Amino acid sequence: MAQTITVQEPLNMVRMATGRYLDTGTVAAYTFTCGFRPRFVQVVNNTSSDKELWIEGMAAASAHKQVAAGTSSGITSNGITVSASGFIFGLDTDLNVTSEQVSWVALG
């Protein structure tokens, strides 16, 4: 008797990717590949504790930014831009700093 099995991703499945990056050269926008289209991205500068948060539905290059000094705001440029297989972390001068390490998490 032949048996056929169909495997489908459950609707409630979440994919997650994490990483770290230390820029040792000229500051540039970084492209992070995680293998899926993120629906949520958070990037944290480990040195300053500044962070950016992007949630599905936000515009490209935007984010919610919180700096360690206590201010919080929405940004519309130099933020996070999502692609089909990852995201681009823009040139925000509080988070994207030469010789400072950033950590990130993406959920999709």
Whether 100 is covered by a domain: the verdict is: yes
- The number of angstroms, rounded, from the C-alpha of 40 to the middle of its chain's C-alpha atoms is 7
Note the pTM of the prediction, 2 decimals. Answer: 0.85
Each residue of 63-108: pLDDT tens digit?
999 998 889 999 999 999 999 999 999 999 899 998 899 999 999 9
Neighbouring C-beta atoms of residue 8, cutoff 10 Å: 6
Each residue of 2-54: pLDDT tens digit?
454 444 556 678 899 999 988 787 777 889 999 999 999 999 999 999 999 99
Q: How many domains does the chain have?
A: 1
- Tell me whether residue 39 is exposed, middle or buried, using C-beta atoms within 10 angstroms of its C-beta: 0 to 12, 13 to 18, 19 or more: middle
Whether 82 is covered by a domain: the verdict is: yes
Residue 68: domain span: 35-107
Each residue of 42-67: pLDDT tens digit?
999 999 999 999 999 999 999 999 99
Whether 7 is covered by a domain: the verdict is: no
